[in-house]
Structure 1
Amino acid sequence: MDVYKEAMDYLQTCNIAGVNETETDLVEDVFGAEAEDSFTTTALQADGADLPETPTDLSPDVLLDRRLQVLQNILKHEQQYLSELETLLTPMKALKASASTSQPVLSSQQVETLFYQVPELRDLHRDFYSRLRDRLGLRSDLQPDQDKPQGQGATHPPVGDLFLKMVSQLGVYRGFIDNYESAVDIVRTCTQAEPRFRTLAESMMSSKGPDNSRTEYTLEALLYKPLDRVTKTTLVLHDLLKHTPLNHPDHSLLQEALRISSSFLSGVNEDSHCKRAVTLSKGMRRQLMRDGFVVDMCEGEHSLRHLFLYTDLLLCTKLKGGAAGKPAQYRFSWYLPLPGLRLFWGPVKERPVDLQQRVLAMRGKMFQIREELQQRGAKGLGPRTLDRSYKKLQQCELWLFTHAPLFSLELHSPSGKSHTIMLPSLFELEEWRDAIESLRGKNQETVPPDLLALTSSCVKLRMTQQPRLQSLLQDFRDEDLRGTLGVVVHSACGLQYPASLSVHLEADGYQFFDNAAQTRPSLSSLEPQWDEEFSLLVDGAHCLRLLSVKHPESRESSKGVQVLARSCIQLDPALLKRWRKTTVSLGPVEVSISLRYSAHPLVPPSSTPTQQPPVFGVHIATLAQQEGVLVPHVVRSCAEEVERRGLEEVGIYRISGATSDIQALKSIFNINVRDAMSRLRSLDVNTVSGALKLYFRELPESLIPAEHFQNLAAALDITDVSIKKEAILSILHSCPDVNRNTFLFLLHHLQRVAERQHLNKMSLLNLATVFGPSLVRPPAMMLGQSAPQVDISQEVVVQVSDRSLYSAVVLLHTPSPGESHPLGVFVQVQVVFFYLQCQDLPRPLALAPLEREDEEPADTIL
């Protein structure tokens, strides 16, 4: 029994086995002439048999008329099928009666096996037939083509619910299919052994039809009719959906009915294959557990592949054919046994400059097509124009899927074979990893597969019709987000041991913009703190995916990175008009986040990489405003990296890294802050500390504004310690928010460095001496401009009060040309030194307080 072959034969006879046109003109329009040859090798064109297309050359009225003809033909064939089931059941009553006599034709058990589930099938289709007939407005005493219903509502009635109800009961066929071979064996055995049964089985006559004709069947042929019917149900739904306009109320219902029917047929084929499958260790049979499209990276080339996960192995195939009426075929690429397979999350792949430009250009093209679709849909244009636009959009998305993935999963087998698969979504990549991990420990051995037979069977077993493309939805729902999704990742709790974590975010929808983000890795802590805000431009989004990622504590390869858990939040724009805080469970970790959605028209994505404003050498308030923070990312990331790896480094902040390395890191920050933050772990820690010092040195204005310098100098002369402290803290409080919070963040960081001075030899005084001249500057130093002179006599009085400190400053600081005299430097150092000695400094804020509504439980958003 080959159910799939029957399906393909039927598809070919109905001329719907594949896409009837190659659409090369669309390829050239979207990608340019040079891309046509490469695109025709992809798998999308091979899926025509599974994705019915609405005819593009028909007007809506003609399309609806043909839809009615399809429905009438369905009704006619349904009536014929019912007649065949009634004929099959005709001898059942007599055979049951004879089973209780002394000379039975068949035993009671044989009768039960022979007609198993047939009455239930008849009742299912009898109900469907009568309801469809009534819905079409046909009288029971007339044939479908003899009665023309009147009125627009009767001419094009909604019938999707009837088909959906019918396919939801296809499970009735499961028992019949499982019993089919046993029933056929009884027919063949008893036909040879029992003459009475042979007479019955070889000549069964149907009841008279409308033309008084009768059809002769064999019993075995009638038993095959339900198998033929369950195969054709999916194909009939294809045909009906193909002739149903997109705006018809039946379209979505028929899509769901087709999905259910296809899934049922896939399960039937899978079970049929499993009956012939080999037996693995522990009595298991080889079964298909998951499949989907991935990108196979080999020698730098990206190839779209269909990956099949079986109980004991991974099979990678190339899908060929399926266009212009040709049946789809799979070609073997590679396979890996699951036992002993090692999996590593590969590093995020950087796109070459030329590929990045092509990706940006493709996103711009997609955005333009999407805008045209919305405008045309609003104007109610014909299906032909809409269908061509959707095809262009699907081709663009498929190109992005193939050429622009960033996340890789490395597969290493004990035999030494290795392969790398890639996907644009870390969430989906983790789904694959989890599925493989759950199976690879269950088998101790793999039975060598018959690769030719196994690859051929993929046509029957495949469940994923093509890559997950947003354009395949072809609907614009009001609940989808189109605008800016703001996400603030606050903190996490629930860890059982200290760990360095980051939170990865992914919004779904069209990939016009980079709608993924990741927090910087936290310090090793039981309660990580991020307070990072992200703004994601989204179109068609309805969910936000979150993953918790654990990073190695030392400089190791990316193979030490581990995804701990993942979760998904369904987004309701009505609940996110203002900031709303919620808690998301990511395995054992509870992550606190805030969300806000702002709907607005989107601007086309730039065709060239966005030039980030510089980080170094600009006013800190300007930088903080650009980043939407109170403490710039460069300060937080560098300081936290020093705390991660440099607290025990001798001379940290006194011994700088190589000047060339520091300048290179500065350049990366000026180009891409997120990229620079991700690279810090691979750099020498003295390079990181040197970049932080360079940032403060190159600020146009010091953190403590120059106008406060003389007041600070005067406050240092106050003899009463409590009054002095109050005065100096008051001056700090009067500084701008960004300056104050950044200064406080740095002070707390330097205090943590000094706590390890027995190892790093950096006391509070040493740290004050290093940072004082950069953080507190007299007016004369500000941008090299002239300014009111500071009362040096006051400085001298202050300096004389602590000669040892003054001597230390003179020894540790040699002024460069244009810098102030050590007398002025002394004041700067003593100010920072005084702040560092305060044990009750206010805690800094990384973000401005959010204007949010009252906090809601997580289930109001999830």
Structure 2
Amino acid sequence: MRSRRGPPRARRPCHTSTSHPPCRPSSALAARAVGRASHPPHLRGWHLGTPNRVIQWRVNIVILVQVQRHENQVEAGKGLEMRKLVLSGFLASEEIYINQLEALLLPMKPLKATATTSQPVLTIQQIETIFYKIQDIYEIHKEFYDNLCPKVQQWDSQVTMGHLFQKLASQLGVYKAFVDNYKVALETAEKCSQSNNQFQKISEELKVKGPKDSKDSHTSVTMEALLYKPIDRVTRSTLVLHDLLKHTPVDHPDYPLLQDALRISQNFLSSINEDIDPRRTAVTTPKGETRQLVKDGFLVEMSESSRKLRHVFLFTDVLLCAKLKKTSAGKHQQYDCKWYIPLADLVFPSPEESEASPQVHPFPDHELEDMKVKISALKSEIQKEKANKGQSRAIERLKKKMFENEFLLLLNSPTIPFRIHNRNGKSYLFLLSSDYERSEWREAIQKLQKKDLQAFVLSSVELQVLTGSCFKLRTVHNIPVTSNKDDDESPGLYGFLHVIVHSAKGFKQSANLYCTLEVDSFGYFVSKAKTRVFRDTTEPKWDEEFEIELEGSQSLRILCYEKCYDKTKVNKDNNEIVDKIMGKGQIQLDPQTVESKNWHTDVIEMNGIKVEFSMKFTSRDMSLKRTPSKKQTGVFGVKISVVTKRERSKVPYIVRQCIEEVEKRGIEEVGIYRISGVATDIQALKAVFDANNKDILLMLSDMDINAIAGTLKLYFRELPEPLLTDRLYPAFMEGIALSDPAAKENCMMHLLRSLPDPNLITFLFLLEHLKRVAEKEPINKMSLHNLATVFGPTLLRPSEVESKAHLTSAADIWSHDVMAQVQVLLYYLQHPPISFAELKRNTLYFSTDV
């Protein structure tokens, strides 16, 4: 049956008429209803042309008003519920506080009773001094608690209690009197304890009643600890007022009363000069001055022949060494004081004065390198999980593993000794990773010691107050590891920083001067380069260039030293001659500044000395690019097969000469191949080898050995393709990952056999040299692992195509590649001698296709 409805009528244009109301709401009710969202989604586009639609529209407006009112009521309800929770928590702590005051007052009556006898424990004056204003404070808080408790227990939304807090704040004058007497009360109690055994027993074990719902009926607390409770309570009450205001509606009757109470409390705290606030300072110094925190940081202490991570706090008159207590989840963290030294008693023993200490055994370098590799691999895994939107639980698990490895690295890497001594007691030894850091601590302490300081001994309560202040005073909140960094923090720079140290000015007298360079890596600073000593001058001009590898680095430090040649001034902690730091400075490595292709020249000012330097940065992905030499007559940047063919030799002349010179006079050099040579010397050697100059041998014999070692590394780095070739790179990565030793042996030997002869013979020649260098590890500190770390990324690198296809960031390059590159070279270094002839005859290893 066909519908009789005709075509739909055209919708009438929106207009005002007597028969139809306007299409837009004009009533006050509607205006209020759409206050939050003037055009609700379900009303947009309506053309209200019929009475029915107008009625429906008005119904919707009424519903919106009701919904809005309901939402406001819900929000208000939530705020009042939070208000109740805040009050309930405060009430519980108030009950504990009253019990503590009761425990403090308990011995007062019997002590007063004996004061008038022939054998008093304390005099009336001593009792009044120790317990001054405690009774008044107790009565104030008991009344407050008794009035607040029923209001919280019979809670409803209309309950008011602002007047109770206002009254409590108005009685803070009693606390002012208590605070003024606090120090005298402590001293009196301590003297009485020392002179009277009976009072000592009383004051050491006061019984505090537990809360009503607590399983513990009583706990034992010292009198000194209880005397501090009123001081702590003042700040606690102020913090609660902040919380209550946050969760009290502005139109609530309590709001102005709580505001007034907070104003009174804050004025009171200001009037007593902050010395009662453990968050900001810890009582006063012996001279009555405010004790301030000057410096703090995490240091490694040698304690009972083992390394311990400590948080060290330098105050205006005392150095305090603490450790963070382990606490269960949800509880406030606290510090435990291990020891303290008043600065008046602190001395730095000179090298000749310091007692011989037990040998500090450095952690094996290969184990430190393994930790770095693990950390980088974990970083990469975390990035992958984040990119794939992995589960937060998996990411947290990886972060935990990363923190554990970073913590071990931070604990075991420092080796620079920093010894301090208490003239009345024992010595303490810290190990630092940076001479810059050691100098900072020494200078900060010596600056404070220029003031007129007094020796003192902290009472147990004073020590408790001081240690308690550390948590909120500290400026270094987290252990300096990358896993503690926020995601949006800079990851630092990965690549090579080229630094030229030009000159220095501002020395007042002639001296033998040199500079060292430090950069941060994995949360701590490491010395990376050292200029030559410029003798007997006030204006040294070094003009020395260094190439420094950066691994997530953010800062560069320059230290200027005066060289000491007096062999009597030896540090007994590490048997090294102590050179004097003349100045030091630090700059941030801003990626936007250093990543330009041009050199950036700057000046660091340090103690009136100005050091001029230049720097430029090459990112790690840019350093993967190998530029062939434009002139085929040279050796740098020329294929190894071309060089050996031209020279009619099996191993390039440059490789043979550099290795020969290192073995002749550098094999016992500390840090050989690890310490950077002067870049200008390396470039001079490069030019001589490229030109095939007749004076090469003479120049080599006069050149600094680190420059010769650097020239060898540069030659391998500038080959058009790595010594172990681009073609075989993926196979080396797969081979080193094999688990079965026999399969790995077969694969790794077959890969060597697959190398072109010039590459293989040169590699085996270098391999045997590095093994000979490692034999001198006790002297040169270069283990097989250290050498593998230096040469692995140079001899074995992904091709540019490979790196672009698989890697996305500089951090990934380090974690994915270096780990495997080091392991490949280390495998061959740890292998028994490999013969070129035996490899080629296939008598030892059977072949498989790559």
User: When the two structures are superposed, what TM-score results if normalisation uses the length of structure 1?
Assistant: 0.43
Structure with the bigger RCO (C-alpha within 8 Å, sep 6+) is 1
- TM-score normalised by L of structure 2: 0.43
